[in-house]
């Protein structure tokens, strides 16, 4: 194949609006990061209130068991939100995306930090649930 068509590349042509690659993934990723922080904050607050109530009142083993399982579920949801934030933050930082670059960077950093925090907290809460089940709530 020779001629002018053979050497024609599309690199010098401006992109059309349909193929511009602009997306609001960074802003959406930041929202997921904030949701993940909120879920961890809710778990920490409920953990504190559960310990305060257990110290003041008679121990309710069933209540504590179900609350610990609830904490595990919220930690899993927080991990999934953090993972989504990191993925969308990375997508928002692609070179073809001019929108929300700062939000994308914040979503990526917060998402990665929250992944680490939720994994550590998830390990801790899972060990608490296992100990609670093994020792029968004592």
pLDDT band at 10 (very low <50, low <70, confident <90, very high): low
pLDDT above 80: residue 137: no
Output the pLDDT for position 64. 87
In angstroms, rounded to a whole number, what is the distance separating the alpha carbons of residues 111 and 118? 10
Structure confidence at residue 5 as a pLDDT band (50, 70, 90): low
Q: pLDDT at position 2, please?
A: 57
Interval 75-109: pLDDT, tens: 999 999 999 999 999 999 988 888 899 999 999 99
The b/e string for 88-106 (b: 16+ C-beta within 10 A; e otherwise) is bbbbbbeeebeebeebbbb
Q: Which residue has the tokens 């930690």?
A: 75
* Secondary-structure breakdown of the chain: helix, strand, coil percentages, each rounded to the nearest 5: 70, 0, 30
Which of 15, 35, 30, 34 is closest to 97 using CA atoms? 15
Asked whether 52 and 67 are in contact (CB, 8 A), the reply is: no
If pLDDT is split at 50, 70 and 90, which confidence band does 9 have? low
Phi then psi dihedrals of residue 12, to 5 deg:
-90, -5
Query: What does the block give as tokens for 40?
Result: 């961890």
CA gap 136, 64 in Å, rounded: 11
Cβ–Cβ contacts within 10 Å for residue 71, how many? 23
Q: How does pLDDT run across 41-82, given as a tens digit for each residue?
A: 999 999 999 889 888 887 788 888 999 999 999 999 999 999
């Amino acid at each position: 194949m020779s001629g002018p068509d053979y050497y024609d590349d599309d690199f010098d042509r401006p992109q059309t609006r349909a193929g511009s690659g602009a997306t609001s993934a960074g802003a959406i990723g930041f929202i997921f990061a904030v949701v993940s922080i909120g879920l961890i904050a809710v778990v920490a607050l409920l953990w504190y209130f559960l310990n305060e109530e257990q110290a003041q009142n008679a121990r309710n083993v069933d209540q504590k068991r179900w609350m610990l399982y609830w904490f595990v579920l919220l930690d899993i949801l927080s991990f999934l939100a953090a993972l989504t934030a990191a993925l969308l933050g990375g997508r928002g930082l692609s070179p073809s995306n001019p929108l929300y670059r700062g939000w994308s960077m914040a979503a990526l950093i917060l998402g990665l930090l929250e992944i680490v925090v939720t994994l550590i907290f998830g390990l801790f809460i899972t060990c608490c649930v296992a100990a609670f089940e093994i020792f029968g709530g004592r």
